[in-house]
Structure 1
């Protein structure tokens, strides 16, 4: 059995267990509902009737939302109908005895019926396939008939940290594809010695594959027709010769970022533990990180520790309603970007609007299918992350901005002081950057900055933090990394960067960098002190001849 099938079977087994637990729960809740209906019928005065009616309405509301989700569709539908009838009683305050007898009788009938779980349609729930795990070196295949161009591209991409392979002929590339698929494909349009153009070959290849490969196109033809043909075969990048390889690498990184990123973080707040557990299983099966919260009073600690990108919030909870809790979340400026999605059996549009007006971004009505839940959460999380990146990350490099990378340095200093494990920070500066701008233009300077940002992303770990400190200066925060190890890593990056070749107006040039390292082993008094030590080390490297790490 394949790993993917095993994971799907395991998920279905957990979902079945939750449905069985809900069925056991019904054996307690339905008789309790009947008893409350009996109390309503025999209430001594209108005020007592009103209290019992409100309690019954709340019970029916939760039942209507949960039953359908666990496969008890008929039960959920009938509970919703009775909930709406209870709402009418509460709104009109009509307390005629005969009508209440009819309503009470309907509730008792609901409790006495034997409902079977109608799980046939949901049993085949599609589990979203997790993305391909990230590897330390992504494999890139290059189809380029000109040996010098292809080899230069291969060597440069390898310097960026990829595993690039160059093929001059379609037959050689086909043979390699049969052995192992790459993470991305770069194809030259013009292949004069082949029967197919590069785009024709790419089109036939993509049709043969189960999933299309990220495709970048290089060509001497800079015309609309070639662009259009490239788009139609699924190209994600288009570059004219001579190719600016750092720009091409930047586009590769963007392609991979679209395909795979860190799992979205979702916080579910619901007093119904079984229902929250089911939602959690579905979202985890879709490769999301999920935590559950059942006590609203714990919201502050959980928001700080988990830092969710989406909050799924039940509307009706005892002691603190969903809209009230949403308003509490919105009072903290740090959480203004986090979308709040209400999950509720509430179907009244006016109540939905009131909840959204107070605080909230979307309203999803229970019961909801598993695929619809995944789609609703994924779209909100994706938008939230894009917005967060736009606000906290530098637009040119995609790295953290000045304030955010400084904050990361402070966080790692505190962590190092608690754990006793050393952390290092490094200041990097591009040598003679003003000369690059003066000689080749600001567009070329931007390419150099992007290239260094991409190289840092490729060569450093996921747990490391990278930021553009200002202009051509970068700050790197390396957790659990002693200074001698940081020195080796940064010096390798320095050498790789010096090996890169840039092109501007047909001219080729190279650039170097200098770096200074400071460590928490130096017992800095504060994050500012740590950064000041790194800055002084960078100053020493600059005045010691540049193109070095101190």
Structure 2
């Protein structure tokens, strides 16, 4: 495939023994490409170090420690084993590394200590199956990203939270002062963390049960008690009533650090639950939650939304003619084409298979049609090399419906999907819009 934009957004550099690379390269690449990252293999420390220094932000650096036995400390040395300290000294600073080690190496605590004290992002024991290794690396890519904004709703005195410091770490504080209406506020704004001061809990002990028993409660959301004083009995009652944890208020700095740590874990969980692993876009679960939030926001602010559904034309023929692996490449390239033309407030999802959904914020119907049509033209202009010297271009069809003409996420999807069907029936490679009621 020929394109100026890189096919894979993320990149892993792997330093390993030559026989390991030879035996595992093809399978590792196959799994990695499904998870939307590429792998470059190295057998020499100097080449690996230069590549690390030249790499971008979307990279992981992986070192197989068994490779030490096949590397020389320098070209003049007759010694064939490179010592760990020599390897660590030759690695570029300012980067974190993933180390693969044998079970024997994993049993040496001092070795683990040496690694974690030397810019270690993570370590893993071998043997490890190629698909498991790739899955773990994908999780690390997720963790490295700064991620979406995490919303924290606080019931208590907001002056106790350092809102500016939290916002700098992508945690937005939403204050509330009435325990009896907290459940309504949570339902409306869908925060990721609910922090409740101990005094508020003691006044209204049913508050957590009311939040937890709602059938629409987000299973990822954490409800945490902020304790101004140590009280074992209060902590016991709080945990029994449904709190996910407690945080003692020792100092504002420690409170901020603990909340940021919780936010980071929630962010990773949301990414793993709500993101499509092949493209990194929202999946069906993630889209549903985000679209519902966007519709509620549009209702509050009185702005229109355009909801588009697109589907690659004759995708079964693509798979049957050039194989499913090539079909995956077409899907990934479409995801990058769509992603390059959505705004920060828009939503983009791989809804399933070759079907994608895009939601344009503050966008009336006709403008939504124009924007989706521009995406269609951009995708149609991409040359795909299906065989050496043979280039093909592909297309997609789409349908668009608008809020507030249609009020719910499900209604918008069904109407846009009906328009997509009309576009397919009308000859494909076109966009149809839902007429006014």
Pick the TM interval, shorter chain.
0.5 to 0.7
Q: Structure 1 residue 476: deviation in Å?
A: 1.8
Q: State the partner residue of 1:355.
A: 238
Change (3 A) 1:439 1:400: same
Deviations along 1:233-255, one digit per CA (max 9) or x if unpaired, are: 55899xxxxxxxxxxxxx99x95
Choose from 144, 156, 180 the match for 1:258.
144
Give the structure with the larger strand fraction.
Answer: 2
Q: State the partner residue of 2:376.
A: 494
Choose from 291, 295, 311 the match for 2:194.
311
Mapped pair 1:541 → 2:423: yes
Deviations along 1:317-363, one digit per CA (max 9) or x if unpaired, are: 37625x54323321223144211222213434454344223222222
Mapped pair 1:320 → 2:206: no
Deviations along 1:18-74, one digit per CA (max 9) or x if unpaired, are: xxxxxxxxxxxxxxxxxxxxxxxxxxxxxxxxxxxxxxxxxxxxxxxxxxxxxxxxx
Q: State the partner residue of 1:341.
A: 224
SS for the counterpart of 2:366 is helix
Describe how 1:47-446 pairs up with structure 2 within 5 A.
155-157=4-6, 198-203=47-52, 213-215=57-59, 234=95, 258-270=144-156, 272=157, 274=159, 276=160, 278-317=161-200, 320-321=203-204, 324-333=206-215, 334-349=217-232, 351-368=234-251, 370=253, 372-402=254-284, 405=287, 421-446=303-328
Give the structure with the larger helix fraction.
Answer: 1
RMSD: 4.8
- TM-score scaled to structure 1, two decimals? 0.51
Alpha-carbon distance in structure 2 between the residues aligned to 1:363 and 1:415:
31
Change (3 A) 1:455 1:260: farther
Alpha-carbon distance in structure 1 between the residues aligned to 2:334 and 2:340:
10
SS for the counterpart of 1:512 is coil
Q: State the partner residue of 1:467.
A: 349
Deviations along 1:94-153, one digit per CA (max 9) or x if unpaired, are: xxxxxxxxxxxxxxxxxxxxxxxxxxxxxxxxxxxxxxxxxxxxxxxxxxxxxxx9xx56
Q: Structure 1 residue 198: deviation in Å?
A: 5.0
Q: State the partner residue of 2:15.
A: none
Change (3 A) 1:519 1:498: same
Deviations along 1:243-294, one digit per CA (max 9) or x if unpaired, are: xxxxxxxx99x95983332332112222x454x3x44354245442112223
Q: Structure 1 residue 444: deviation in Å?
A: 3.4
Where in structure 1 are there 5+ consecutive unaligned residues?
A: 1-148, 162-185, 191-195, 207-211, 218-222, 238-250
Q: Which moved more, 1:374-383 or 1:403-412?
A: 403-412
Alpha-carbon distance in structure 1 between the residues aligned to 2:177 and 2:154:
8
SS for the counterpart of 1:262 is coil
- Contact 2:346–2:359 under 8 Å retained in 1: yes
Q: Structure 1 residue 534: deviation in Å?
A: 2.7
Alpha-carbon distance in structure 1 between the residues aligned to 2:274 and 2:373:
28
- TM-score scaled to structure 2, two decimals? 0.62
Where in structure 2 are there 5+ consecutive unaligned residues?
A: 10-37, 71-83, 99-136, 433-437
Change (3 A) 1:513 1:203: closer
Q: Which moved more, 1:488-497 or 1:397-406?
A: 397-406
> Which protein shows a greater Rg?
1
SS for the counterpart of 1:539 is helix
Q: Structure 1 residue 430: deviation in Å?
A: 1.0
- Contact 2:190–2:293 under 8 Å retained in 1: no
Alpha-carbon distance in structure 1 between the residues aligned to 2:164 and 2:331:
42
Q: Structure 1 residue 429: deviation in Å?
A: 0.6
- Contact 1:514–1:548 under 8 Å retained in 2: yes
Change (3 A) 1:413 1:515: farther
Matched residue count: 346
Q: Structure 1 residue 422: deviation in Å?
A: 3.9
- Contact 2:60–2:141 under 8 Å retained in 1: no
Choose from 339, 352, 371 the match for 1:457.
339
Change (3 A) 1:533 1:338: closer
- Contact 1:215–1:236 under 8 Å retained in 2: no
Q: State the partner residue of 1:95.
A: none
- Contact 1:310–1:341 under 8 Å retained in 2: yes
- Contact 1:516–1:541 under 8 Å retained in 2: yes
Q: Structure 1 residue 203: deviation in Å?
A: 4.8
- Contact 2:249–2:255 under 8 Å retained in 1: no
